Amino acid sequence: MASTAPRPDFSRSAISRYVQLAALFRRRIETGEWPVGSQIPTVHELAEECGVARATIRQALGQLSDENLIERFRAKGTFVTRRVQEEIWCAIPTDWSGLLLPSSDDARIEMLSRSPRSVQLPLSHELGAVQDRYDHVRRRHWRGDRAFLVADVYIADALRKQVTRKDLLNKTAMRIASDVLGTEIGDARHTITIGSADLVTAELLSIPVNAPVAHVRREVVDKQGRLVVISDGVYRGDVVRIDIKLAHEDAK
């Protein structure tokens, strides 16, 4: 059955139409509008509904097929094989204790690059006083055979000698900050922004360009007000969940 929603207008975006359509169709699967096991509309019906060429629809469906969300059967049609939400297994912690823990027993960290010399901080920041130079490491986090996070970590030069290669391959950025600073942590902030994958991120995480992602910025300041650890990461959006506990007081 074709969607009864208004025809989408793809002309206002510089993003390729088939990429926008893939995101639209992926969303229909995520929400259950196209349930698992159901047959989706034909290429002709989708082209009519969206006002685009059939070739564009085929490109969009090709992305979903590559993600194993749909499967096409000759003479039968195209069917939904799974929902993205069924594979959500990576929880983004929002409390300090959770940020110190590894993602899971089968999680591992790959060091993609490390600057041969310290660099100036290229990021905007919310907390503390920026230091002159930082050690810069780009890391990719895996669970099993699947990459779920790529992050740039900046560690103030004053702490560089206290962080070993083993630390960088085994500890979260917040665990490194906690182990090095201990009780000297003055403040910390955790910011999450929802966005879409650029070309570099898509390649590193093996996801389509413009697929949903969560941008996560973590900043740690010492008691002298110096910004000493920054982690700027991107999680793939199809496997993450963000749980935030809300404080509740009984009405008096």
Is 155 within 8 Å of 139 (Cβ atoms)? no
pLDDT tens digits, one per residue of 104-118: 667 889 999 999 888
pLDDT tens digits, one per residue of 16-39: 788 888 888 988 887 788 988 999
- Sequence-separated (6 or more) residues with CB below 8 Å from residue 75: none
pLDDT tens digits, one per residue of 40-86: 999 999 999 999 999 999 999 998 898 888 998 888 899 999 866 54
Q: Helical H runs in 37-172?
A: 43-50, 54-66, 96-99, 157-160, 165-170
Percent of the chain with pLDDT over 70: 81
End-to-end, the C-alpha distance of the chain in Å comes to 51
Residue 225 predicted with pLDDT over 70: yes
Please give the domain boundaries of the chain with CATH numbers for all domains. 17-84 (1.10.10.10), 88-242 (3.40.1410.10)
Residue 129 predicted with pLDDT over 50: yes
Nearest Cα to 83, choosing from 242, 239, 209, 202? 239
Is 144 within 8 Å of 188 (Cβ atoms)? no
Question: Which sign does the torsion angle of CA 35, 39, 42, 45 carry?
Answer: negative
Cα gap 87→106, rounded to integer Å: 16
What beta strand segments (E) does the chain contain? 70-73, 77-80, 90-92, 107-114, 129-130, 134-143, 146-156, 185-196, 212-222, 226-236, 240-242
pTM: 0.69
pLDDT tens digits, one per residue of 189-212: 888 898 888 889 989 998 877 788
